[in-house]
Chains A and B, each alone.
Chain A
Amino acid sequence: MTCPRCLLQLQTLGLLGRSAARCVGLLRTPSSGQPSEPQVLRHFHPSPGSAKSRSVPAEFDRESHKKRNKSLITHDDLFEQVAQEAKTKAMFNKVVDIFTKRDIRRRGHVEFIYAALRKMPEFGVERDLTVYNKLLDVFPKEVFVPRNFIQRMFNHYPRQQECAVQLLEQMENYGIMPNMTTKVLLVQIFGEKSHPMRKYQRIMYWFPKFKHINPFPIPQKLPEDPVDLARFCLNRIANDLDAKVTVYQMACTEVTESGEEVTLPYIVGIQSPSQMELLTKHNPSRPVFVEGPFPLWLRKKCVYYYILRADPPLPNEKVEEPYDPERCLDYPLQLDFDLGRDLGDDESFDVEDLDEGPVFAICMTNQGDEATLNQWISGLQQSNPVLGQVPTLFRLDAGPQELDMLADIKSCHNHRPESELLKEDWLPEEEPEVMGDEELRRSQRMK
């Protein structure tokens, strides 16, 4: 981290260096015209009149073709030309460098910075602090610092201040914490009491407080492999340190006897020991339901999961274990007189405490049709044998990929024509439909 004074010295040296090189350049190329071959620095200062009709610098791309048209180019075009090759950070930096070195007065820097801010997501650098600092560096230093009280009063260089504020705003939107370089740059460019500096101070007040505010943070880079992603999501939903994730099936393509290729989806499930206990205590005459798919949003990605649940037991079915006076060897577990808890000390009521029925297990899979979920249930049955006697009902919603299938199967229902529906574009069905009733699943489920 360089201290502000050092950076200031570096800047002045840089300016000097540039002015020195300028003289050298001028000496070297006496003619003011388009250079025919690529040069390290081109110091051609056009008159203000022809500000817009500037030719693209020739050192644009050393190896490849040079652009020589003199037509009106907006700053967007600069980026788009580069974009036709690789859209990388290096290219982006290169364009910014070209702009900074092309004109000592940095004409049009405000528009350039706005254009660059717009193009950042395309180049994939929107989360990169060094790129933002480089963009801030495009502003000329010390020009916009107010020097007397009148300048200070009247919003000195408002457009530049607004541009810098927009830059900081984009940084804030992407959640990037500025660092010391940013502060030094802002001080050099705008001075201490400017709008961008204020915005910087506000960011630096709030962002540290917000950094760890999410008790369940999602990492920026989600795992690529769908099974790993499923593992992560299931642990996130279950939120239990004892829960175990089992991969019942990995995605693979199999060739069946008739020679067709069948793609089997991955099936990943999770269950914790307390859920297993709840399942053993479940009354076998009451059904369990497989419900889904429910969406889970992780930043910009939506994944779907299915649950195995049951309805809460009826109030008259709740059996309390009778008190066994011989349970504890050392002290009585229940006292033998008839006094209840005082109302003032009764903390058992909680508005949020709803009994929605136990959830026994959760799973995630590509393809949420009955066959796959059946496979999940049979996998579960290996560790929870009671599933063999309990009737399982499948209450599946139409998932995103299943709208095509639905059109075939349920032609009696009123559906919109699904032909142009894309995979990402799913329209949720309003009412959950009972896809299939699997009554009386017995142990022949075990495969």
Chain B
Amino acid sequence: WSHRRGSTEVFPYPEIGNEELEEINQLVAPVEKFFNEEVDSAKIDHEAKIPAETLNGLKELGLFGIMIPEEFGGLGLSNTMYARLAEIISLDGSIAVTLAAHQAIGLKGILIAGSEAQKQKYLPKLASGEHIAAFCLTEPGSGSDAASIQTRATLSEDRKHFLLNGTKIWISNGGFADIMTVFARTEVTVDGVKKDKISAFIVERAFGGITSGKPEDKLGIRGSNTCEVSFDNAPVPVENVLGEIGGGFKIAMNILNSGRFSMGSSSAGMIKKLIELTSEYAATRKQFNKSLSEFGMIQEKFAVMALNAFVMESMAYLTAGMMDRPGLADSSVEAAMVKVFSSEGGWICVSEALQVLGGLGYTKNYPYERYVRDCRILPIFEGTNEILRMYIALTGMQYAGKVLTAQIKEMKKGNIGLALGMMGKKLKSSFGVSVDLGLIGKDGVVHPSLAESAKKLEQNVSLFGSTVESLLYRFGKTIVDEQLILKRVADLVINLYAMTAVLSRASRSISIGLRNHDYEVLLANTFCAEAFFKNNYKMTQLQKHSPENNDANMKKIAKALLENRAYICSHPLERTY
């Protein structure tokens, strides 16, 4: 990644034009008003249903077609603006999930891979909200394993229809969606060999043969409708195949990868709202003649919330800006990094906010417990964090592997000249020669007040590069099986990306003189210091035979426990005589 993220992509921080900014602010105001006044989140949570008036209000605001081009009736906004609106929509988790399931994944397929005819046919109604979309991929036996998808689409005799048979579970909006993007197995002939490949179909409920199960009773996002959808010989016209027959895998990957970045801004929006509510309480409640906000531990909680919000915002808008920039490579890895960081950061912050309120936060009288329950789904859906860490780490390893293969092979062969060169480099670096990636100094892109943090970032990046090299040397292709190592690598990458985003944003803030830019510098420096320390620890854990690395022990513990499927220690009160 040290190769991938060239300075020009990340610095300067992406900006949007003045007209766009005005447009956004105009859009944002009524949406905010709507959410503050007309959305009763407690009622939605209690009844596990979003009332029809609320849905109608959302449709009128145009929130059902934010990214659909204007020619089809949508708002035609860019990724950045979508992220901005997501900040407000996330005030109510159920509505956010319903809208996301509709547009971020449900109709994204038609947007990305649909033919003109399909777009003309479906997008207008979807944009106005008359039809609601859903995304049907997961099955009882198949989460990430595409090979175990059982739903089948067989060509009918008149070759005009596909007959769809199978069941999909946990489909958001599954109870009332009219248009669904369904993934099923089809038989394709590849080089004369018949194989089963996955294809994507646009299926309308009106085709018949589609039944929805009863809505699942969930812990959080209770207003969102999640249910099982079964297809029983549902006829799908051949024109409704998305992309080509057998090309469903790529479409699925593209859809999933493009919807993730908005989680950063939605978590940030939620945390900002929570900071407001919680600090109100902390400033007014008094114990021992001091208000809660004067106690160190409470202050630490607020600092954590502020840092998390800052970093999430920076990462989300950086990614959105990169995606909006024309002609750039796909930033699915960056989106995944945003998702992982935001989901975990969001969960921690929401928990801390509840903690500040103590017992009051635990009751249903206050919204904190609802936020906690709604946030628990964040690390789970849209790709579980474990899977995304593997994705981040392996994509990077793939790239690094390709670049470094020749070099590592040379090293393994024991070329003396190369070995001497490496030793020389190591000696130089151990004498403290600093790494210069061009971030600071005369032509540097980072503002001088952030020089310390930038130096830390540079050190981390160079050490990371050599760590990756040594990992590839040790494991080669088999690193796919070393999940604990890949987890650390992914965490490192996420931290590095976060540091970059934060530095970039803070530099811009100082340079153009945004309000409270010194506060941003403070946040940036604090975050970078923490992340620097954590990164160094992770990198020492990745060394060979490092004593900080507990992986072997963890695996041993887990193995013995899983063999017995129970905790195997004797009870502490047991006696032998």
Residues of chain A in range 321-344 having any CB-CB distance to chain B below 8 Å:
324, 326-342, 344
Residues of chain B in range 447-475 having any CB-CB distance to chain A below 8 Å:
472-475
Q: A212-B576, A333-B480, A339-B477 are in contact. List 6 more A-B contacts (CB 8 A).
A: A327-B145, A330-B256, A335-B394, A337-B405, A339-B405, A341-B477
Which residues of B sit under 8 angstroms from A335, Cβ to Cβ? 394, 397-398, 401, 477, 479-480
A204 CB-CB contact with B under 8 Å = yes
A177 CB-CB contact with B under 8 Å = yes
The smallest beta-carbon distance between A407 and chain B, in angstroms, is 47
| Alpha-carbon separation in the docked complex, A339 to B198 (Å) | 31
A294 CB-CB contact with B under 8 Å = no
B395 CB-CB contact with A under 8 Å = yes
Residues of chain B in range 382-403 having any CB-CB distance to chain A below 8 Å:
383, 387-388, 390-391, 394-395, 397-398, 401-402
Q: Are A331 and B395 in contact (CB under 8 A)?
A: yes
Which residues of B sit under 8 angstroms from A333, Cβ to Cβ? 480
B46 CB-CB contact with A under 8 Å = no
B478 CB-CB contact with A under 8 Å = yes
| Alpha-carbon separation in the docked complex, A329 to B146 (Å) | 6
Closest to A337 in B: B401
Residues of chain B in range 359-384 having any CB-CB distance to chain A below 8 Å:
383
Which residues of A sit under 8 angstroms from B405, Cβ to Cβ? 337-339
| Alpha-carbon separation in the docked complex, A337 to B402 (Å) | 6
The smallest beta-carbon distance between A201 and chain B, in angstroms, is 12
Query: Would you mind naming 20 contact pairs between A and B with Cβ atoms under 8 Å apart?
Result: A204-B577, A208-B576, A212-B570, A241-B565, A326-B197, A326-B249, A328-B145, A329-B137, A329-B249, A329-B253, A331-B395, A334-B477, A335-B401, A335-B477, A336-B401, A337-B405, A337-B477, A338-B405, A341-B474, A345-B544
Q: Are A329 and B390 in contact (CB under 8 A)?
A: no
Residues of chain A in range 278-293 having any CB-CB distance to chain B below 8 Å:
none
A211 CB-CB contact with B under 8 Å = yes
Q: Are B576 and A331 in contact (CB under 8 A)?
A: no
Q: Are A336 and B256 in contact (CB under 8 A)?
A: no
Closest to A180 in B: B577
Closest to A177 in B: B577
Residues of chain A in range 203-220 having any CB-CB distance to chain B below 8 Å:
204, 207-208, 211-212
Closest to B570 in A: A212
Which residues of A sit under 8 angstroms from B136, Cβ to Cβ? none
Q: Are A345 and B475 in contact (CB under 8 A)?
A: yes
The smallest beta-carbon distance between B56 and chain A, in angstroms, is 35
Residues of chain B in range 191-210 having any CB-CB distance to chain A below 8 Å:
197-198
Q: Are B576 and A327 in contact (CB under 8 A)?
A: no
Which residues of B sit under 8 angstroms from A330, Cβ to Cβ? 144, 253, 256, 383, 387-388, 390-391
| Alpha-carbon separation in the docked complex, A310 to B388 (Å) | 41
| Alpha-carbon separation in the docked complex, A335 to B398 (Å) | 6
B489 CB-CB contact with A under 8 Å = no
| Alpha-carbon separation in the docked complex, A177 to B577 (Å) | 7
* A341: contacting residue among B147, B476, B570, CB under 8 A: B476
The smallest beta-carbon distance between A220 and chain B, in angstroms, is 17
Which residues of A sit under 8 angstroms from B409, Cβ to Cβ? 338-339
Residues of chain B in range 134-187 having any CB-CB distance to chain A below 8 Å:
137, 144-147
B408 CB-CB contact with A under 8 Å = yes
Residues of chain A in range 163-183 having any CB-CB distance to chain B below 8 Å:
177, 179
B252 CB-CB contact with A under 8 Å = yes
Which residues of B sit under 8 angstroms from A208, Cβ to Cβ? 576-577
Which residues of A sit under 8 angstroms from B577, Cβ to Cβ? 177, 179, 204, 207-208, 211
Q: Are A331 and B570 in contact (CB under 8 A)?
A: no
The smallest beta-carbon distance between B150 and chain A, in angstroms, is 15
Name A's B-contacting residues (CB within 8 A): 177, 179, 204, 207-208, 211-212, 241, 324, 326-342, 344-345
The smallest beta-carbon distance between A135 and chain B, in angstroms, is 20
| Alpha-carbon separation in the docked complex, A328 to B386 (Å) | 14
Q: Are A329 and B475 in contact (CB under 8 A)?
A: no
Which residues of A sit under 8 angstroms from B564, Cβ to Cβ? 241
Which residues of A sit under 8 angstroms from B144, Cβ to Cβ? 328-330
| Alpha-carbon separation in the docked complex, A342 to B395 (Å) | 21
Closest to B478 in A: A341
Which 7 pairs between the two chains have the least Cβ-Cβ distance?
A339-B476, A208-B576, A337-B401, A331-B391, A326-B249, A342-B474, A331-B390
| Alpha-carbon separation in the docked complex, A335 to B390 (Å) | 12
The smallest beta-carbon distance between B479 and chain A, in angstroms, is 7
Closest to A328 in B: B144
| Alpha-carbon separation in the docked complex, A327 to B253 (Å) | 12
Which residues of A sit under 8 angstroms from B408, Cβ to Cβ? 339
Which residues of B sit under 8 angstroms from A344, Cβ to Cβ? 474, 544
| Alpha-carbon separation in the docked complex, A179 to B198 (Å) | 71
| Alpha-carbon separation in the docked complex, A333 to B395 (Å) | 11
| Alpha-carbon separation in the docked complex, A324 to B148 (Å) | 13
Which residues of A sit under 8 angstroms from B477, Cβ to Cβ? 334-335, 337-341
The smallest beta-carbon distance between A332 and chain B, in angstroms, is 5
Which residues of A sit under 8 angstroms from B473, Cβ to Cβ? 339, 342
Closest to A348 in B: B478
Residues of chain B in range 217-274 having any CB-CB distance to chain A below 8 Å:
249, 252-253, 256
The smallest beta-carbon distance between B545 and chain A, in angstroms, is 9
The smallest beta-carbon distance between B406 and chain A, in angstroms, is 10
Which residues of A sit under 8 angstroms from B479, Cβ to Cβ? 335
* B394: contacting residue among A177, A332, A340, CB under 8 A: A332
| Alpha-carbon separation in the docked complex, A208 to B570 (Å) | 14
Q: Are A328 and B395 in contact (CB under 8 A)?
A: no
Closest to A336 in B: B398
| Alpha-carbon separation in the docked complex, A210 to B576 (Å) | 9
Which residues of A sit under 8 angstroms from B390, Cβ to Cβ? 330-331
Which residues of A sit under 8 angstroms from B146, Cβ to Cβ? 326-329
Closest to B387 in A: A330
Closest to A345 in B: B474
Closest to B252 in A: A329
Which residues of A sit under 8 angstroms from B401, Cβ to Cβ? 335-337, 339
| Alpha-carbon separation in the docked complex, A338 to B407 (Å) | 12
| Alpha-carbon separation in the docked complex, A326 to B395 (Å) | 15
Q: Are A336 and B402 in contact (CB under 8 A)?
A: yes
The smallest beta-carbon distance between A345 and chain B, in angstroms, is 5
The smallest beta-carbon distance between B290 and chain A, in angstroms, is 49
Which residues of B sit under 8 angstroms from A332, Cβ to Cβ? 394-395, 398, 480
Which residues of A sit under 8 angstroms from B478, Cβ to Cβ? 340-341
| Alpha-carbon separation in the docked complex, A212 to B198 (Å) | 54
The smallest beta-carbon distance between B349 and chain A, in angstroms, is 26
Which residues of B sit under 8 angstroms from A345, Cβ to Cβ? 474-475, 544
Which residues of A sit under 8 angstroms from B544, Cβ to Cβ? 344-345
Which residues of A sit under 8 angstroms from B391, Cβ to Cβ? 330-331
| Alpha-carbon separation in the docked complex, A332 to B394 (Å) | 7
- Given A212-B576, A336-B402, A324–B147 Cβ distance below 8 Å? yes
Contact with A along B543-577 (1 / 0, CB 8 A): 01000000000000000000011000010000011
Which residues of A sit under 8 angstroms from B249, Cβ to Cβ? 326, 329
| Alpha-carbon separation in the docked complex, A28 to B358 (Å) | 86
| Alpha-carbon separation in the docked complex, A337 to B399 (Å) | 9
Which residues of B sit under 8 angstroms from A179, Cβ to Cβ? 577
Residues of chain B in range 3-33 having any CB-CB distance to chain A below 8 Å:
none
| Alpha-carbon separation in the docked complex, A230 to B463 (Å) | 61
The smallest beta-carbon distance between A304 and chain B, in angstroms, is 28
Closest to B564 in A: A241
The smallest beta-carbon distance between A356 and chain B, in angstroms, is 21
| Alpha-carbon separation in the docked complex, A334 to B472 (Å) | 14
Which residues of A sit under 8 angstroms from B397, Cβ to Cβ? 335
Which residues of B sit under 8 angstroms from A339, Cβ to Cβ? 401, 405, 408-409, 472-473, 476-477
| Alpha-carbon separation in the docked complex, A344 to B544 (Å) | 10
Q: Are A342 and B383 in contact (CB under 8 A)?
A: no
Contact with A along B471-493 (1 / 0, CB 8 A): 01111111110000000000000
